[in-house]
Amino acid sequence: MKGGSERAVAVPESVADVVDHLAEAERRGDRVWPGGLGTREPAPEGARALSTRALDGVVEYEAADLTFTAQAGTPVADIVEILAERNQWLPFDPVGWPDGTLGGLVASGVSGPLSMSYGMVRDHVLGLSVVTGDGRVLRLGGKVVKNVAGFDLVKLLVGSRGTLGVITSATLRVFPRPDVDRVLQARATDARALLLAGRAVATGPVMAASVVLSGEGGGEAALSVRLHGSGATVDADERTVRRVVAGAFGGEVVIHPGSTLQARTDGGGASGGMPRTRARVYALPTRAREILDLIGSVAAGGVSWVVDLQRGEWHVSMTPDEQVFSAMARGAARLGASVSVEGTSRTHGPIEDRIRRVFDPRGLFGRGGEDVQT
């Protein structure tokens, strides 16, 4: 094991090292905070970080079978490059993509706007290797798309955020790249006008791969419509989108390659060196106007956001402020929506508690906040 500086970070180089570290942590009475490259929140007070970044590398890539297996610490950006050489890709685009590791992608389970067209991350994880809190090494699932034997424990681990075990490797289904990946974008200071145009596209005749609106408090907003398909299909869809946007908004529409979309829709915003906290708001797409007004009223300055207009999922980034978070949660509840704040603990139900006791009987892993293993 490798150590850090003042507060040691364990960096196991093998699955056996992971088992040894968990055993040592139990002997010392430490809690363990699984992580990857540390692109999200640091380990909380009283927990020791375990980084999987040394568990790095491709295990098996069967391009003809559309399956890819790699160790958990493999950077997602490296996987993207490897797949691109065979004209394949992972159709995931969560905020921050492609930062982080494969293990973090699976452990967070967070999907982006492309999930409306391609499905969630959990739909494409075929197999996992994981070390549980009591040192068991589990190999779950397999390397085939159709695997229906027994309970689907793979889906249980996807999105578990490092609370059930340390993911050490994963097998994913990959996809052929679309013939054309085109992004149409309109920008304006009037976010409401862009929202109206985006809702018209999302509910219109075009089967867009994603429809995303992003902006900052008091700044410019951007509507990004992503189109996938053959050249003729995308050309026809583009003409339709331009007509819809012109009718609802009237602004200029520009074209970007699909690969440039993420930089324009992360909603990171300028923080001025201040710490940032991310919150997710889940609402009906028809409530988008009210959610936009809510964000503007409770966090007028220093806030940035991005919303999937097809699913109604918002990612909001702002300086930490408990009063603002509370006001947002109350306002969202009145609209039938919910708010999840990164790094906050929550109450677990009896079923979840029993599941945790099976995988982590000694309570070794840290609290179940947001995005633990990244």
Please give the pLDDT value at position 213: 96
Please give the pLDDT value at position 151: 63
What is the distance between the alpha carbons of residues 189 and 27, in angstroms, rounded to a whole number? 57
What is the distance between the alpha carbons of residues 63 and 155, in angstroms, rounded to a whole number? 23
316 φ, ψ (degrees, to nearest 5): -120, 130
Closest CA to 127 of 65, 177, 183: 65
Please give the pLDDT value at position 23: 95
Q: Which position has the token pair 């602004």?
A: 251
For residue 225, the 8-state DSSP code is E
Q: Around 49, how many Cα atoms within 13 Å sit in the side-chain half-sphere?
A: 26
Show pLDDT as tens, one digit a residue, over the chain (374 residues). Answer: 444 344 578 999 999 999 999 999 999 988 999 998 876 666 777 788 999 999 999 999 999 999 999 999 999 999 999 999 999 999 998 877 788 999 999 999 988 899 999 999 999 999 999 999 999 999 999 876 665 555 689 999 999 989 999 999 999 999 999 999 999 999 988 999 999 999 999 998 899 999 999 998 778 899 999 999 999 999 999 999 999 888 887 777 887 766 555 544 454 444 444 456 788 999 999 999 999 999 988 876 678 999 999 999 999 988 878 888 889 999 999 999 999 887 665 566 788 889 999 999 999 996 544 434 44
What is the distance between the alpha carbons of residues 276 and 296, in angstroms, rounded to a whole number? 17
What is the distance between the alpha carbons of residues 36 and 72, in angstroms, rounded to a whole number? 8
Please give the pLDDT value at position 236: 96
Amino acid found at 62: E
Q: Which domains does the chain have, with CATH numbers?
A: 9-51 (no CATH), 58-176 (3.30.465.10), 178-261 (3.30.70.120), 266-360 (3.30.70.2170)
Please give the pLDDT value at position 271: 42
- The contacts of residue 177 (CB under 8 Å, 6+ apart) are 84, 87, 88, 89
Please give the pLDDT value at position 372: 41
pTM: 0.85
Q: Which residues pair with 307 in a beta bridge?
A: 213, 314
Indicate the SS3 state at residue 152: coil
Instruction: Provide the angle, in degrees to the nearest 10, between the axes of the packed helices 191-202 and 231-248.
Output: 140
